[in-house]
A and B are shown apart, each in its own frame.
Chain A
Amino acid sequence: AQKVTQAQTEISVVEKEDVTLDCVYETRDTTYYLFWYKQPPSGELVFLIRRNSFDEQNEISGRYSWNFQKSTSSFNFTITASQVVDSAVYFCALSEAENAGNNRKLIWGLGTSLAVNP
């Protein structure tokens, strides 16, 4: 069965520290998509990145970077030089591709709550 595990429930860092949020997934599909979302206290889930299973290149966007490793089924997210505004809950999610049958949906991890303290 598909599964997404975010083992870190809560992380607390001091501003300017680097922090890595872990995401490990399980799937039998060869084609799938992985996502990261950020949920600030306001509640809205903000899309951060989408990665398909055939693209293992690491991605960097400003202070954010993602390390996708199929060999370990991981899609980790690193924030460099963290800021107070990065405080939020971060979710990792896994999506099956079209040929997965009728029972298809986005599978979510339980989220990692990140607190960046000044």
Chain B
Amino acid sequence: KAGVTQTPRYLIKTRGQQVTLSCSPISGHRSVSWYQQTPGQGLQFLFEYFSETQRNKGNFPGRFSGRQFSNSRSEMNVSTLELGDSALYLCASSLAGAVSGNTIYFGEGSWLTVV
């Protein structure tokens, strides 16, 4: 079956702009999590959605938001972009979330560069 699909794969934005990233989870998976990965900070948890509800949230400012649709597809949005938002954004899907012991599967990520 198809894996986790993230779009776009690469994008360049200017400071102050906003960006929306999309994630289509594996069919049948209801949990979608988002992570930010930077060389200095490693993998940082952004938020998790399950059945259209945000179930958990990391320590990121309110500029970072997300949502999940009824078909489990998810989007994350970053407003008022800053240079420090340049990172690889990874989406992960699982049946019910890693905290349930389920394995989470990652997409290839969206490489965001803010200039």
> What's the nearest-Cβ distance from chain A to residue B18, in Å?
23
Tell me whether A106 and B100 are in contact (CB under 8 A).
Answer: no
Number of A-B contacts (CB under 8 A): 63
Closest partner residue, chain B, to A44 (CB atom): B108
Tell me whether A103 and B56 are in contact (CB under 8 A).
Answer: yes
> What's the nearest-Cβ distance from chain A to residue B109, in Å?
4
Interface segment out of the listed A12-20, A60-68, A93-101: A93-101
Q: Which chain A residues lie closer than 8 Å to B104 at the CB level?
A: 35, 47, 106
**B interface list, Cβ under 8 A from A:** 33, 42-43, 45, 48, 56, 58, 88, 90, 92, 97-101, 103-109, 111
**A interface list, Cβ under 8 A from B:** 33, 35, 37, 42-47, 50, 52, 91, 93, 95-98, 100, 102-106, 108-111
